[in-house]
A and B are shown apart, each in its own frame.
Chain A
Amino acid sequence: MQNRSIWFWLFLTPVILGLGIVVVIPFIYGFIFSFTDWNGITATKFLGFEHYINLFQEDEFMDSIWFTVKFAVITVILLNFFGLGLALLVTRNIKTNNLLRTVFFMPNLIGGLILGFIWQFIFVSVFDDIGTLFGIENLQGWLSTTGTGFWGLVILTAWQMAGYIMIIYIAYLENIPKDLIEAAKIDGANGFQRFKNITFPLVAPAFTVSMFLTLSMAFKIYDQNLSLTNGGPFNSTQMVAMEIVRTAFSDHQMAYAQAKAVIFFFIVAVIALTQVYYNKKREVEM
């Protein structure tokens, strides 16, 4: 028994040190210092909820939360629509299905920072040229307004992540028994009926998984935001993640930024836990 617990702890020591020093201790440390005037190195006095009261009255922070929420809602809808659509497409018996999977998935392997720069070129230069060529004014001046910046981020994210969501849907689609579809065909169900009554209910769990992933991902986006719009114009396309980094490392308000980071944690945790709860409830029903 003694022998058993020694190897147990030896096997766990490296990861306990890793998680402890990198995640757990900073998390607790940060939570405590968000109530002080901490400057990143030392704290001199306890301020209670002062930062928390201030941040809820700060327009820039509240705007970034609102912008992020809007962004998350739209991208979750679009990503699931495209993800499922692409998955249905490449699970059909077409010659190019493997090649198409490779193509749709490709943007996920390239970092958000690089993709943001590429799309900056597309929106600013390519859209502008197409707009001039066909006389479409709406295509000009992209990323220079809040609205075009918002949609720019949505398009970039939908394009980048749809292939990832597609992979999840494919995994569930391929588990649907072939004879179920065959039986429905023999019974005379058309394509739409087969989709509505067989395919859709059977991929519903995939929707739960992908909704969890897309929501938490949409809330944590940073690189794409930085390289595509850099938060501009006038910080109007700045998402929460970027807002926290700016407050900390550009404005050097460490404790105040940390208070924002604590709020950010609660938002992300509530979303994730609600999802898990919802997921569990559904599993019981099935």
Chain B
Amino acid sequence: MKKNKEKRNLFSIEILGIVLGLLWIAPFYLMLVNAFKTKREIFGGVLGLPESLAFENFVQAFIDLEFLKSLFNSVLITGLSILVIILFSSMAGYALARNKSKLSGIIFFIFVAAMLIPFQSVMIPLVSIFGQANMLNAGGLIFMYLGFGCSLSIFLYHGAMTGVSKTMDEAAIIDGANRFQLFWYIIFPLLKPISVTVGILNVIWIWNDYLLPSLVLSEANATIPLKMFYFFGQYTKQWHLALAGLTIAIIPVIIGYFFAQKQIIKGVSEGAVK
């Protein structure tokens, strides 16, 4: 009797969940359905299914977005930034965790405190400084991502180091390894789970960033969000093309999410709770 009631309860919760889930993906559904319509059909109504599939919207959007080029720029900039952030933050997190001096405490505090500074508060001088140094380009952008990304990453690596026993260091030093060998051959592999978390958190942010690239990159080197902004401005009143473009821009993320959803959710949860 009681079991039955519990089952019924669970069933209604399941239904509620499915309804909410459908509501949650409705915007993507509406985007996709209307991306396949002609301009005239969208004007006639956005709720129905398309009469026939207007693939030419996607072809046009693909060409105008210079999609392969913007995808390449996004992959290159995000990839290199993540690489640099993981490399240098893990080293710094290790050094700060192992050297227990007052100075290293202060340095660690500065890195953590820097997280309080919102981007807009440094944006104008940053652009000015990099402009005068002729560094408003992809290289400069990657360096900026290191500066903005290293704080949280060092914080996470520093926390993870407490789980790595100091005897590791001692044993390796006795065996004649220098600090670099010790770090790259022994410590860094042990930090792999936290590297995954650091990588995921930074990828989500850097891949989607719009404002910083818009200040640094020219249209010729645009990443996907930046190109999307120009593209959208061009097709404000032509939803069939705009929606096809948005769909194309989202596809790489959906593919990535499909393959790495477990790690992504785990990474985000670790990053948020710490």
Which residues of A come within 8 Å of B, CB atoms?
A: 4, 7-8, 11-12, 14-16, 18-27, 29-30, 33, 40-41, 86, 89-90, 92-97, 99-115, 117-119, 121-122, 125-126, 129-130, 133, 159, 163-164, 167-168, 170-172, 209, 213, 219-220, 222-223, 226-227, 240-241, 244-245, 248-249, 254, 257-258, 261-262, 264-265, 268-269, 272-273
Contacts and interface: CB of A to CB of B under 8 A. Distances in A.
Given A105-B265, A118-B246, A222 B124 contact: no
A232 to B, nearest CB: 13
Most chain B beta-carbon neighbours within 10 Å: one of A11, A16, A100, A219: A11
Q: Does more than half of chain B's interface fall in helix, strand or loop, or is it mixed?
A: helix
A21 B143 contact: yes
A185 B47 CA distance: 47
Interface of B: 10, 13-14, 16-18, 20-21, 24-25, 27-28, 30-31, 34, 42, 45-47, 84, 87-89, 91-92, 94-96, 99, 104, 107, 110-111, 114, 116-129, 132, 143-144, 146-148, 150-151, 154, 178-180, 183, 204, 207-211, 215, 225, 228-229, 232, 239, 242-243, 246, 249-250, 253, 256-257, 261, 264-265, 268-269, 272-273
B92 A22 contact: no
Given A125-B239, A167-B272, A264 B118 contact: yes
Contacts of B111: 15, 19
B42, B47, B268, most chain A CB atoms within 10 A: B268
Given A22-B143, A24-B114, A121 B122 contact: no
Contacts of A164: 268, 272
* 4 shortest interchain CB distances as A-B pairs: A22-B147, A111-B208, A11-B95, A26-B125
Nearest to B6: A93
24 contacts: A8-B104, A15-B88, A15-B89, A19-B110, A20-B147, A22-B126, A24-B110, A26-B124, A94-B14, A103-B21, A108-B268, A112-B210, A113-B229, A121-B34, A125-B239, A126-B46, A167-B265, A167-B269, A209-B273, A222-B120, A222-B211, A261-B120, A261-B124, A272-B116
Contacts of B27: 115, 118-119, 122, 159
A30 B210 CA distance: 22
A30 B147 contact: no
A27 B117 contact: yes
Contact of B146 (A18, A119, A167): A18
Contacts of B89: 15
Contacts of A97: 17
Given A114-B228, A164-B272, A26 B46 contact: no
A31 to B, nearest CB: 9
Given A8-B104, A27-B121, A241-B120, A18 B207 contact: no
B272 A261 contact: no
A8 B180 CA distance: 11
Nearest to A129: B46
B124 A248 contact: yes
Contact of A223 (B96, B207, B211, B215): B211
A227 B17 contact: no
Contact of A159 (B24, B117, B143, B211): B24
Contacts of B92: 11-12, 14-15
A113 B120 contact: no
B208 A112 contact: yes
A158 to B, nearest CB: 11
A110 B146 CA distance: 21
B239 A23 contact: no
B269 A264 contact: no
A121 to B, nearest CB: 6
A7 B187 CA distance: 15
A261 B128 CA distance: 15
Contacts of B208: 109-114, 223
B239 A25 contact: no
A213 B209 CA distance: 18
A73 B126 CA distance: 31
A4 B88 CA distance: 18
B119 to A, nearest CB: 7
A18 B150 contact: yes
A30 B125 contact: yes
A121 B20 CA distance: 21
Given A22-B122, A96-B17, A126 B30 contact: yes
B84 to A, nearest CB: 8
A110 to B, nearest CB: 6
B116 A268 contact: yes
A112 to B, nearest CB: 7
A33 B178 CA distance: 45
Contacts of A21: 129, 143, 147
Contacts of B18: 96, 100
Residue among B84, B119, B256 with the most chain A CB within 10 A? B119
Contacts of B143: 18, 21-22
Interface centre among A18, A95, A115 (most CB of B within 10 A): A18
Nearest to A104: B24
Contact of B122 (A30, A40, A122): A30
